[in-house]
Amino acid sequence: MTMTLERIPLRILGSALLVILISVVLLRFFPGYLTNTQFLAGIIFLQVLLAIVWNYRQRLMPALALAFLGAGTYTPLQPVFSPIRWVLLAIGALGGLALYLRERGHWFGLFHAIALSCILSSFASAVVSTYAEVSFLKAASLLLLFLYGISGARLVVLFSSWSFLSSLRIGLEVFTYITAVSYFVFHYSLMGNPNSLGAIMGVIVLPYLLWFALTSDDAGARHKRQLALIISICLLLSSYSRASIGAGFIAALLICFGLRQYKFFVRGLAVALLCAVVVAALVPMKSETSGQGQTPVAKFLYKGHESQNVLQSRLSVWDQTIDSIRSHPFFGTGFGTSLANENAGSSRLQGIRVSSDVGVREHGNSYLAIMEWQGLLGVIPFFALISLVALYAVRVFIQVRNIQDLSSPLIVFAAVMLGGLFHAAFEDWLFAVGYYLCVYFWIFAFIFVDLLHRASEPYPEAETTFTPVAQSAAGSAT
């Protein structure tokens, strides 16, 4: 301990001397750089990047989440976050892999093997793509995401699971309040497309805030978390996104029944219905023409087009994707690319593209999208990975009835997985790495699988606070 404390001042002193030396050199030989805004911005970015890498476990994941979210929002900093997110993802993947391999107790299971096979399949499909360069870039982004999920993301919860959950709660609450002020006070669409607002609220924010509210022991803290939960429900409903509302409902149902909070679910459903009436009366739809004067049910179900089929907006793009699958049944059109035409619609979700609009069109279904990209042969590992996520989540809820410790985070992780898979049936984001929801979902999926394994075979120095709840679920998952 004494030697460590003695080294810290020398390290700080050395860093300060290095900064002074660089400043003197710039002032003496390159004074013009100090008035160049791009150069100064680059220096600031490098300093922030160094601070993130210096404390990888605590800072990389929040920075990565913020960068991808910032790239998908309508803010002046969106052009800045767009390239930064890929730098952080690359650092997270490569740095996380190096650090994780140094730790004791790391493991590699069936889920991770299938994830790596998905990467190989994506690169193989890029070879036959009409837009090979774009497809290779998107396959590379999937490689970075899954490498980070296999290594860096797991480091965050390896020794500090509850610290991670606490930080997650604070982050989601802050995001909810900022978004509410943006939409309800300033009437500014921070998330761009309403479907993007509904997606992040229904799949990620609402389930976690609900679990935090239900598992809080302090009455004061519980009331504050319930307030954030109600606000998130209002934001979700104000998006009028039926798939997102359905995903949030499924996740809430699973969490409440898993925790045996039946009365809370009934009360929450009543509050949600009241919020729906208020939202329908005060918050107009983005393109509300024929929706004027309709009942709240008609507004949420038909979105102002009561004369049409409920799935009318999806049928045309589904048919187009199915036709493309029939034209390229075995090898697909290439990962992340489609044979788009001039009449093809653009994506409904903001920030879903990786690098180019070439070969990109809306599919309205993540499963049809990946089947079109990969073909019947290349899609097998992707469907196997999805099936494993669903299987592990379902087993958690099947066995949760026999578990005494119902405060386990496995319940909320499983609910998010199932809610997200439901939502993916109506939006094509599940393997679109440029979209923040894809990044969040798969990071949580890798952490979820890791927690299942940790419960059955805890790491020597890791926390074991989830042991009672997770041992049963992990035993079946293993």
Element (H, E) at 179: helix 161-180
The pTM (predicted TM-score) of the whole model is 0.84
pLDDT of residue 344 exceeding 60: no
pLDDT of residue 415 exceeding 70: yes
How does the average pLDDT of the chain come out, rounded? 81
Instruction: Tell me how far apart the alpha carbons of residues 335 and 343 are, in angstroms, rounded to a whole number.
Output: 21
Instruction: Tell me how far apart the alpha carbons of residues 429 and 380 are, in angstroms, rounded to a whole number.
Output: 18
Whole-number Cα distances in Å, 290 to 258, 284, 294, 308:
41, 12, 8, 12
- pLDDT tens digit sequence for 424-434: 999 989 999 98
pLDDT at res. 379: 94
What integer is the mean pLDDT of 182-208?
A: 93
Residues 6+ apart with CB under 8 A from 98: none
pLDDT of residue 129 exceeding 90: no
pLDDT of residue 275 exceeding 80: yes
Residue 336, amino acid: G
Which phi and psi (to 5°) does residue 161 adopt?
A: -65, -45
pLDDT of residue 341 exceeding 50: no
pLDDT at res. 289: 47
- Identity of the highest mean pLDDT range in 14-23, 40-49, 298-307: 40-49
- What DSSP state is assigned to residue 32? G
- Break the chain into its structural domains and give their ranges: 53-308+378-477
Residue 249, amino acid: F
pLDDT of residue 185 exceeding 90: yes
Between 85-89, 161-165, 251-255, 403-407, the lowest mean confidence (pLDDT) is in 403-407
What integer is the mean pLDDT of 243-249?
A: 95
pLDDT at res. 290: 46
- Enter the tokens of residue 32: 């013009």
What integer is the mean pLDDT of 48-56?
A: 80
Give the DSSP per-residue string, 211-234: HHHHT--SHHHHHHHHHHHHHHHH
- Enter the tokens of residue 169: 């709660």
User: What confidence category does residue 232 fall into, taking pLDDT thresholds of 50, 70 and 90?
Assistant: very high
Residue 7, amino acid: R
- In three-state secondary structure terms, 425 is coil
What integer is the mean pLDDT of 278-297?
A: 67
What integer is the mean pLDDT of 124-145?
A: 92
Instruction: Tell me how far apart the alpha carbons of residues 411 and 406 are, in angstroms, rounded to a whole number.
Output: 8
Nearest to 94 by CA among 125, 60, 66: 60
Quick one: the chain helix, strand, coil %, rounded to 5? 70, 0, 30
- How far from chain centre, in Å, is Cα 89? 13
Instruction: Tell me how far apart the alpha carbons of residues 222 and 289 are, in angstroms, rounded to a whole number.
Output: 40
pLDDT at res. 108: 86
What integer is the mean pLDDT of 409-416?
A: 93
pLDDT at res. 355: 42
pLDDT of residue 207 exceeding 90: yes
CA atoms within 13 A on the CB side of 24: 6
Which phi and psi (to 5°) does residue 113 adopt?
A: -65, -40
Q: What percent of the chain has pLDDT over 90?
A: 44
pLDDT of residue 401 exceeding 70: no
- pLDDT tens digit sequence for 137-177: 999 999 999 999 999 888 877 666 778 888 899 999 999 99
pLDDT of residue 464 exceeding 50: no
Q: Are 72 and 350 spatial neighbours (Cβ–Cβ below 8 Å)?
A: yes
pLDDT of residue 460 exceeding 50: no
User: What confidence category does residue 219 fall into, taking pLDDT thresholds of 50, 70 and 90?
Assistant: confident
Show the DSSP H helices in 181-261 as ranges: 194-200, 206-214, 219-238, 242-258
Instruction: Tell me how far apart the alpha carbons of residues 362 and 190 are, in angstroms, rounded to a whole number.
Output: 22
User: What confidence category does residue 51 fall into, taking pLDDT thresholds of 50, 70 and 90?
Assistant: confident
Instruction: Tell me how far apart the alpha carbons of residues 168 and 311 are, in angstroms, rounded to a whole number.
Output: 34
pLDDT of residue 32 exceeding 60: yes
Q: What percent of the chain has pLDDT over 70?
A: 74
Task: Please give the residue that has the higher pLDDT: either 220 or 346.
Answer: 220
- How far from chain centre, in Å, is Cα 370? 18
Instruction: Tell me how far apart the alpha carbons of residues 172 and 309 are, in angstroms, rounded to a whole number.
Output: 35
Q: How many residues are recorded in the chain?
A: 478
Token pair 């004369």 in the structure block, residue: 307
pLDDT of residue 459 exceeding 60: no
pLDDT of residue 3 exceeding 60: no
User: What confidence category does residue 478 fall into, taking pLDDT thresholds of 50, 70 and 90?
Assistant: very low
- What DSSP state is assigned to residue 5? H
Q: Are 144 and 93 spatial neighbours (Cβ–Cβ below 8 Å)?
A: yes
